Structure 1
Amino acid sequence: MAYQSLRLEYLQIPPVSRAYTTACVLTTAAVQLELITPFQLYFNPELIFKHFQIWRLITNFLFFGPVGFNFLFNMIFLYRYCRMLEEGSFRGRTADFVFMFLFGGFLMTFPNLAVGQDEQVKGTFNPGIAVGHIYFFLEDVFPNQPGGIRILKTPSILKAIFDTPDEDPNYNPLPEERPGGFAWGEGQRLGG
């Protein structure tokens, strides 16, 4: 019974929040079980570009440290706020939500190409706050200013992958075939 309710709660999480939270938990579990080490996950430009360890562009956003109070706090924070955004501001706009993640990841990764490893580790929280403010300004503030334009536009490839196409008002489906060839339910109205 508890398994079913936990499963239903898990499936009610919006898809991007569910995928990201699950990836973070699975990555941390893999480190805890010593299937991988944190050294295989961290952002290292030399290993990415010279040794083609491209996964490091993603995995550095999936590992929040060893299981403990900080990990639990981070997972609750991540789950709660991702879900609130996906169900609130980004409701029905999954591609835009994914684009926000990619934009934020790019802005947090790009400056790290120029700084040392110690600065990357120490500055993670502050760039996250700055990136959030930059996104908010470019998405919600600047376009609504006199002479403002919308700079951030979700690429159509993301819309094709993540958003359901709008229903075509001219679409006229073929009548469905009735079992047995009978015109079921097409009798006359009573009293008419």
Structure 2
Amino acid sequence: FFDCWRGIKGEPTIVGTLYQMAQSIEGWFQSLGWVTQKCFVLIMALSLGGTLNIVSPQYFILDFDLIFKQLQVWRLITNMFFFGMFAGPSAFQVLINIYLFLKYSQQLEEAEFNGKRADYIWMFVISALIMTALGGGLLGARITSRGLLLVVVWIWCRRNASQQLNIMGIFDVKAIQFPWVLMLIHWIFGQGWEPDALGIVAGHFYIFMKDILPQTHGIDWLRTPRFLLNQYPEQRPVGGFGGTPTYMPASRAAPASGPPRSSFSGAGRVLGSD
């Protein structure tokens, strides 16, 4: 019995294995983008809180009477990030939805919103306003986390429309078709299509206002507010340890090596992570 703790013939001990697993989890967590990381913490806190009966999920749902009459304003946020509990018949689907959210949120934050923390937060704010108004106000939705998942998926798929995605190892679809396939899968498993449709509407509103309208009419009505840009200035990766980039404000980014120049002779831009 004790040999399994000490290790046999050079094999790692149980304690050592657990330590390595903990390091791997910590490394994965640290590799997440700043916004995605905070979303993950909130999602896990809500789901675990409900699963372990620490707090009732009734405190997470969208209820305008309680929000305005009792000032339970946290419901405006918790209803978007409560994906469900890790128990019961829907537990597996909850895990899948959380995985998909983290995957596509991370990819957005690494590419389209790379170094643009304020812009990414603003995207969530815009999506929350639309889903709260349409979902909570018109449709009576109590939870909009599935909608938030589809917002992230829709925006990523629209900006990577030509990429091929494999569905459960069975067939391939283009990225632009994936949101509809995901909505169909949810409907087949009895979860309804309305939450997904709500997210598609919110996601396409953002795409139209940020990508289409500025190109066709030169108008950007969804500019990130100045207070957010001041709080989270635009950054660019300047290297790091273990493959995790270190960011610094773009306005104070370190100059490239080489002979000094008397003047700046080029327009700066945020480096991507391709």
* TM-score, length basis structure 2: 0.58
- Deviation per CA, 1:37-80: give whole Å up to 9, x if none: 11111001111001111110011011111211111111111100
CA contact (8 A) 1:32 1:66 kept: yes
- Secondary structure of the residue aligned to 1:95 is helix
Match of 1:83 among 80, 88, 106: 106
Contact 2:43–2:83 (Cα < 8 Å) also in 1: yes
User: Which letter does structure 1 place at the counterpart of 2:224?
Assistant: T
Tell me if structure 2 keeps the 8 A contact 1:21–1:78.
no
* Amino acid of the structure 2 residue aligned with 1:153: R
The list of structure 1 runs, each at least 4 consecutive aligned residues, that deviate by more than 6 angstroms after superposition, is: 119-122
Letter in 2 for 1:71: V
> Which residue is equivalent to 1:140?
211
Give the Å deviation of 1:119.
8.2
Whole-Å separation in 1 of the counterparts to 2:69 and 2:213: 39
1:61 paired to 2:61:
no
C-alpha contact 2:85 2:94 (8 A) present in aligned 1:
yes
Q: C-alpha separation between the residues in 2 aligned to 1:119 and 1:15?
A: 27
Are the equivalent residues in 2 in contact too, given 1:95–1:162 (CA < 8 A)?
A: yes
SS at match of 2:81: coil
Aligned: 1:26 with 2:45: yes
Cα distance change of structure 1 residues 119 and 160 upon mapping to structure 2, 3 Å threshold? closer
1:112 Cα deviation from its structure 2 partner: 3.8
Instruction: In structure 1, give the amino acid aligned to 2:113.
Output: F
Q: 1:160 aligns with which of 230, 235, 254?
A: 230
The 5-angstrom pairing of residues 172-187 of structure 1 reads none
- C-alpha distance in 2 between matches for 1:116 and 1:138: 23
Unpaired runs of at least 5, structure 1: 170-192
2:219 to 138, 149, 166: 149
Structure with the higher fraction of residues in strand conformation: 2
1:94 aligns with 2:117: yes
1:109-148 alignment runs, 5 A limit: 109-115=132-138, 117=140, 123-145=194-216, 147-148=217-218
Whether 1:46 aligns to 2:65 is yes
Q: Is the 8 A contact 2:79 2:142 kept in 1?
A: no
For 1:49, what is the secondary structure of its paired residue?
helix
* CA–CA distance in structure 1, aligned partners of residues 226 and 53 of structure 2: 40
Is this contact kept in 1: 2:36–2:106, CA < 8 A?
yes
CA shift digits 1:144-181 (9 cap, x unpaired): 11x33111100011111222544359xxxxxxxxxxxx
The TM-score normalised by the length of structure 1 is: 0.81
Shift of 1:26: 1.1
Letter in 2 for 1:167: S
Structure 2: give runs of 5+ residues left out of the alignment. 1-19, 145-191, 236-248, 254-274
C-alpha RMSD of matched pairs (Å): 1.9
How far apart, in 2, do the equivalents of 1:11 and 1:118 lie? 34
The 1:44–1:162 alpha-carbon spacing in structure 2 relative to 1, beyond 3 Å, is same
Q: Per the alignment, do residues 78 and 168 of structure 1 end up closer, same or farther by CA in structure 2, a change over 3 Å counting? A: closer
Deviations 1:82-138 (A, max 9, x none): 000000100011100000000000110012453363687763221101111110111
Q: Distance in 2 between matches of 1:69 and 1:160?
A: 40
For the structure 1 residues 144 and 106, does the alpha-carbon distance in structure 2 shift closer, same or farther, using more than 3 Å as the test? same
How many residue pairs match? The answer is: 168
